[in-house]
């Protein structure tokens, strides 16, 4: 190979002969840079330019190809709310579900799955199978079949999965072989048409859903389910966690989706007020209520109703005091948003509320930051509890977290206890409290309370 030059420290060109070793690393660097622009390292899928030639051959061999556009990026606020790492994980899980359709009759082996660009949350499918005579019906029918299959698989993911909160948007199009039209441009146009279709359908649907959410806020449209928290040694109930559930017949498929939409619509504080008031009023009808655990999102934590006494008035109406209430915040809010939370924490403590840090084990906490919060309870994430009797790693981790709780004088609650063997292991580890299906299968509360119009 010939000569090339590099700059010396004084900025002058410094010609030198290339070596096989240097050439290898230079070419490897160029190849990796090229590959990073064509293949998405996050999902393992190619970007559209990388498969353009394959799509062109598909169109020219068959005369057409159906295009399906799938968009997760308009789910609203997830990346800023969860952090990019958690959102990336959700996108990766969705990509795996999408590729798994090739193992069924939903997608055929020759069908092409790609992202529109690297690091994207927008996906494209190019389907080459099908009957060209059904040009008027096939694209939309195949789109609905794919979307239905994906939604069914998302519903099978564990409760609390970020995937459940994402609202999938879809559009479709068709690339046809047309004389005197460059196939590559026809492919790009079909992908653009499918994307625009998804935007139009989503915007129309979101207007309807926002109206529904507004009606829920001002007229009432949620119920509260109460999950008992028990002392593991004797199963004595020490409190209940209040969980919001949408009423049947609405357009929201899950409570996770409902909360995500409230966040993206900037109605989170108003919606959480409805949930909180509904829970407090319904709590008056729960036998052996004990402590009332109320979940609080970042918006709810910063709600001025905590400091103005409005929440206390609601509690009085149900025969409760602030000392009867435990405000649950997630580990991420408590640690990552520590400075913002300090003002709210001071208010909670001064008025007599207790505090629980939820989802412990997600990787944010440190002893120093938790000690500053002084939580009354630490709730360990269900992922640490599930099948703990079969995992020495989980047992060691949970034991370490128990020692942490003892140092900051917090009581431990293990979430997601489903089997007697799990409970026995938790007892052996010195875990005091637990909740889960082993102690209670969810039922509606005795009374469904609707929030009256303001």
Q: For residue 139, what are the CA distances in angstroms to 10, 51, 194?
A: 62, 20, 10
What per-residue confidence (pLDDT) applies to 205? 73
What per-residue confidence (pLDDT) applies to 256? 78
What per-residue confidence (pLDDT) applies to 137? 45
- For residue 426, give both structure tokens: 């938790």
What per-residue confidence (pLDDT) applies to 24? 57
Domain spans of the chain, in order of start: 48-209, 220-434
For the four alpha carbons of 130, 134, 137 and 139, in that order, the dihedral sign comes to positive
What per-residue confidence (pLDDT) applies to 27? 62
Give the domain 48-209 fold. Alpha-Beta Plaits (3.30.70)
What per-residue confidence (pLDDT) applies to 444? 47
What per-residue confidence (pLDDT) applies to 207? 77
What per-residue confidence (pLDDT) applies to 81? 61
What per-residue confidence (pLDDT) applies to 453? 41
Low-confidence ranges of the chain (pLDDT < 70): 1-36, 73-83, 129-139, 159-160, 253, 331-340, 361-369, 371, 443-454
What per-residue confidence (pLDDT) applies to 381? 80
Q: For residue 95, what are the CA distances in angstroms to 157, 158, 386?
A: 14, 17, 25
Q: Select from 3.40.390.30, 3.30.300.30, 3.20.20.450, 2.40.30.10 the CATH code of 220-434.
A: 3.20.20.450
Exposure of 38 by Cβ count < 10 A (0-12 exposed, 13-18 middle, 19+ buried)? middle
What per-residue confidence (pLDDT) applies to 318? 95
**Nearest Cα to Cα of residue 210 among 261, 169, 256:** 261
Residue-wise pLDDT for 422-452, tens only, equals 999 999 999 999 999 999 877 544 444 444 4
């Amino acid at each position: 190979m010939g000569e090339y030059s590099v700059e010396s420290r004084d900025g002058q060109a410094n010609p030198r002969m290339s070596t096989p070793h240097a050439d290898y690393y230079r070419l490897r660097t160029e190849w990796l840079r090229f590959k990073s622009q064509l293949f998405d390292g996050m999902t393992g899928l190619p970007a559209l330019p990388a498969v353009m030639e394959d799509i062109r051959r598909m169109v020219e061999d068959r005369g057409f190809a159906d295009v399906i556009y799938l968009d997760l990026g308009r789910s609203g606020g997830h990346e800023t709310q969860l952090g990019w790492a958690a959102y990336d994980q959700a996108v990766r899980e969705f990509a795996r579900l999408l590729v798994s359709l090739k193992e069924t009759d939903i997608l055929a082996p020759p069908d092409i799955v790609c992202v529109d660009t690297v690091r994207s949350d927008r996906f494209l499918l190019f389907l080459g199978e099908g009957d060209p005579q059904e040009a008027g019906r096939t694209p939309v029918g195949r789109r609905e079949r794919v979307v239905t299959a994906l939604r069914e698989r998302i519903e099978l993911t564990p409760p609390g999965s970020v995937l459940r909160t994402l609202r999938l948007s879809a559009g479709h199009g068709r690339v046809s072989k047309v004389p005197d039209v460059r196939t590559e441009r026809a492919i790009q146009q079909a992908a653009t048409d499918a994307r625009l279709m998804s935007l139009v359908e989503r915007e129309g649907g979101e207007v309807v859903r926002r109206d529904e959410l507004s009606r829920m806020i001002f007229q009432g449209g949620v119920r509260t389910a109460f999950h008992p928290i028990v002392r593991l040694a004797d199963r004595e109930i020490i409190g209940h966690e209040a969980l919001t559930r949408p009423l049947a017949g609405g357009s929201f498929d899950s409570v996770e989706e409902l909360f995500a939409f409230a966040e993206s619509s900037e109605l989170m504080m108003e919606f959480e007020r409805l949930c909180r008031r509904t829970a407090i009023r319904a709590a008056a009808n729960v036998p052996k209520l004990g402590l009332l655990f109320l979940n609080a999102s970042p918006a709810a934590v910063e709600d001025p109703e905590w400091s103005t006494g409005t929440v206390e008035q609601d509690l009085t109406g149900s025969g409760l005091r602030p000392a009867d209430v435990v405000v649950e915040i997630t580990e991420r809010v408590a640690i990552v948003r520590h400075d913002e939370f300090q003002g709210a924490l001071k208010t909670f403590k001064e008025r007599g509320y207790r505090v629980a840090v939820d989802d412990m084990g997600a990787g944010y906490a440190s002893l120093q930051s938790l000690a500053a919060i002084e939580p009354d309870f630490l709730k360990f994430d269900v992922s640490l509890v599930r099948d703990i009797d079969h995992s020495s790693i989980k047992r060691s981790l949970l034991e370490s977290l128990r020692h942490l709780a003892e140092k900051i004088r917090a009581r431990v609650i293990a979430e997601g206890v489903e089997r007697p063997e799990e409970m026995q292991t938790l007892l052996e580890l010195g875990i005091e409290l637990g909740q889960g299906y082993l102690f209670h299968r969810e039922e509606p509360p005795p009374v469904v309370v609707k929030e009256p119009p303001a």
